[in-house]
Amino acid sequence: MTVVPTVTLKSGEKIPVVGLGTWLSKPGEVAQALKIALKNGYRHIDCAHAYMNQDEIGQVLEEVIAQGSVKREELFITSKIWNTFHSYEKAKEGVDIILQQLKLKYIDLLLIHWPMGYQEGGEIFPRTADGNHMHYSDADYLDTWKALEEAVQAGKVKTIGLSNFNSQQIQRVIDHSHIQPAMLQIESHPYFQQTKLIDFCKEKGIEVTAYSPLGNMATPFRKEGQANLLEDPVILEIAKHHNKSPAQVIIHWSIQRGVIVIPKSTSEHRLKENFDVFDFELSKDEMAKMAGIDRNWRILDLTARDGDHKHFPFNIEF
């Protein structure tokens, strides 16, 4: 079984550098993918309330822990507080809901999913009548953060962090926190490398996890005609040189630049392949070639839907 390197977070917890992403894993598929992943050595599982599949993930976790095939302390489970749980009281409630769904006594890493708050107390996606926007709340993510800090003190969460925040928002959390953020999760792949934001985080001692590290062909946010990262000639050339797949090259590239990755798959072949990335290194020249294909191309661009929210993160450079 592959031994995956870990990174030590500010909290002292160790996170494996490759995890299983579960965004867009359909109910029914996610349980099977998780069982295959655990069987093949995955121990880092990335979840979120808004993915609406945590109940199924929780059933599998409860089952494998009860069977003794995996010990709870071997697992690193991430989840995320959703936008409809941003007020202090709702965020506290959100922590308990996540624990209940995942059937766990504690979460290893809990992130604020987005800086924007949505209308609370109803739908997870409280859309306006035309369906094009969300009903917002004016809840401040600093109140959400306070609830997460208390969850750490209560033993419900080991480590806390952020997702989809920009550098100014991260700094604001740092300036108003008792417990500093240990992680930022963002979209990052060779066509959207986010080097400035990653460098900012490294200066602050914040680790970075990349979602959609392979360019996410399955996401509904992709636009017609957008290039397939896995067919990029630079990546294909490097893959051929190392006798690896394009996906393996991209995953290793992320890890080599100090970024944790959570590729999503429900295929056993790809789950194994995404894990088999620790027996080669990219040369300086190859890393430079990879840096050269950045297109500053964000796939998950919510500007049309949420761009006028006062806490929308993507209105500044990084």
Per the annotation, does 113 bind a ligand?
yes
136 carries an active-site annotation: no
218: DSSP letter: T
Contact predicate 111/185, CB 8 Å: yes
Q: What is the DSSP string of 281-306?
A: ---HHHHHHHHTT-----SS--HHHH
Q: How far is CA 206 from CA 32, 143, 232, 239, 249, in A?
A: 32, 20, 30, 30, 24
Distance CA 53, CA 239 (A): 34
Q: 64 by DSSP, 3-state: which? A: helix
Which run of H or of E encompasses 112?
strand 107-112
With the CA atoms of 78, 84, 87 and 93 taken in that order, what torsion angle do they form, in degrees rounded to the nearest 10?
Answer: -60
At 292, list the tokens: 């050269």
Q: Which of 51, 118, 136, 141 is catalytic?
A: 51
Active site residues: 51
Residues in the annotated binding site? 113
Residues in the annotated binding site for substrate? 113
